[in-house]
């Protein structure tokens, strides 16, 4: 199919133009223009491609739908023509820039000056019926813009991707390597924590994303906390506010409360949140002084016992701690290779990073693995 678009883009996207889905998309869009008021005007659908050739792109800003009000959208995501009032979504972007960089908030919502510098603002969907947000979703535009993102990710180095809105953020996976997307090679550190999937029991939004960070702590967590309500009520008595709809938030607050406020060490914290059963405490496994200490923890901090299947990896200033529930309903695996220690809820995650290790093991339920910089425990 012959599409009128800037040459550098045509060379890279011609294979998309020749695919059946694009032919169906064109038929749909043409019918829409004939039967309804569709934005933008037809000759502006690919305006951003014509204004910013492939080789010029430095920053990709991805939005969702075009503005649905006539006179606003002309083919550049978030931008409006000169003289048109600044839409709320663009005003929020300007406020973020002002708060972050101290730049004055512009009086115009026209972003052509950005485009001239290599900024490529593109919607996931390139057309819309006037006053009907989302009316052209799932008609083929997403497949096309996915291909555009993939071409940029594969064919350009040192690009910056900025994804506004949950709909646009779903495109993160299109970058071939998430590490490349977040430019991890530019970071240095002695400890790294990561989580490999969306939440399963709570809303999948940025506030509940892992690692959950607070002060010097980060938490990644796998499992379901059945004691969430009791834990939350207790921790909120001490000034914590649990607003993010995730049990991982509560775990982080519990550890902060016990470590920073109660001055307890990580070994003792593990004995509180994954406390041994009373029958185990009363057995010959512990000395009398240890039994008294465990009984004190269970009586004083009973509402901080975390029940249900879980595995937790805590990052703190100077190291990591791994802990799973006392019944070991969720797995925990540790491995060593040279001076490196790996912790994960599944062995395959460790093998993906380090296929051959010196030692690999699984701790008992409720048994913490605490690793400190230049020190192993």
Residues 327 and 342: their CA atoms lie apart, in Å, by 22
Q: Which residues are CB-contacts of 66 (< 8 A; sequence separation ≥ 6)?
A: 39, 40, 73, 77, 123, 125, 126, 127, 128
- The tally of CA atoms less than 13 A away on the side-chain side of residue 169 is 8
Nearest to 342 by CA among 121, 120, 153, 193: 193
Which helix (H) or strand (E) segment is 167 a member of? helix 166-169
- CB contact at 8 A, 191 and 319: yes
Task: Find the Cα–Cα–Cα–Cα dihedral 248, 250, 251, 253, rounded to 10°.
Answer: 130
List, by residue number, the catalytic residues.
Answer: 65
Strand ranges for 15-159 from DSSP E = 38-39, 59-63, 119-123, 128-129
Burial class (CB in 10 A: 0-12, 13-18, 19+), 54: buried
DSSP state of 217: E
Which helix (H) or strand (E) segment is 321 a member of? strand 319-324
Nearest to 213 by CA among 164, 246, 178, 258: 246
User: What 3-state class would DSSP assign to 90?
Assistant: helix
Residues 93 and 90: their CA atoms lie apart, in Å, by 5
Q: Which residues are CB-contacts of 115 (< 8 A; sequence separation ≥ 6)?
A: 48, 51, 52, 76, 79, 121
């Amino acid at each position: 199919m012959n599409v009128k678009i800037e040459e550098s883009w045509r060379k890279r996207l011609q294979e998309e133009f020749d695919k059946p889905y694009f032919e169906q998309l064109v038929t749909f869009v043409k019918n829409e223009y004939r039967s309804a008021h569709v934005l933008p005007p037809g000759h502006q659908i690919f305006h951003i491609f014509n204004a910013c050739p492939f080789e010029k792109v430095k920053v990709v800003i991805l939005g969702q739908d075009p503005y649905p009000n006539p006179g606003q959208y002309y083919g550049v995501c978030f931008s409006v023509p000169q003289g048109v009032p600044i839409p709320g979504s663009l005003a929020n972007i300007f406020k973020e820039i002002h708060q972050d960089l101290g730049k004055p908030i512009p009086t115009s919502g026209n972003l052509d000056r950005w485009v001239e510098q290599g900024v490529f603002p593109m919607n996931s969907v390139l057309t819309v019926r006037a006053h009907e947000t989302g009316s052209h979703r799932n008609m083929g535009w997403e497949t096309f813009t996915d291909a555009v993102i993939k071409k940029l990710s594969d064919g350009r180095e040192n690009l910056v991707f900025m994804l506004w809105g949950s709909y646009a953020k779903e495109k993160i996976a299109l970058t071939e390597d998430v590490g490349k997307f977040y430019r991890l090679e530019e970071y240095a550190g002695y400890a790294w924590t990561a989580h490999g999937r969306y939440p399963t029991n709570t809303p999948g939004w940025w506030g509940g994303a892992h690692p959950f960070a607070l002060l010097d702590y980060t938490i990644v967590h796998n499992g379901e906390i059945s004691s969430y309500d009791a834990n939350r009520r207790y921790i909120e008595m001490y000034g914590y506010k649990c607003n993010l709809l995730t049990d991982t938030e509560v775990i982080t607050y519990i550890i902060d409360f016990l470590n920073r406020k109660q001055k307890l060490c990580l070994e003792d914290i593990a004995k509180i949140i994954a406390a041994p059963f009373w029958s185990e405490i009363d057995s010959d496994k512990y000395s009398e002084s240890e039994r008294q200490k465990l009984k004190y923890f269970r009586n004083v901090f009973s509402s901080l016992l975390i029940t249900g299947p879980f595995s937790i990896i805590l990052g703190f200033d100077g190291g990591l701690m791994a802990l799973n529930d006392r019944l070991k309903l969720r797995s925990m695996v540790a491995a060593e290779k040279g001076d490196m220690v790996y912790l994960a809820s599944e062995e395959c995650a460790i093998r993906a990073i380090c296929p051959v290790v010196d030692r690999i093991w699984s701790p008992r339920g409720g048994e913490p693995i605490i690793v400190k910089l230049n020190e192993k425990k």
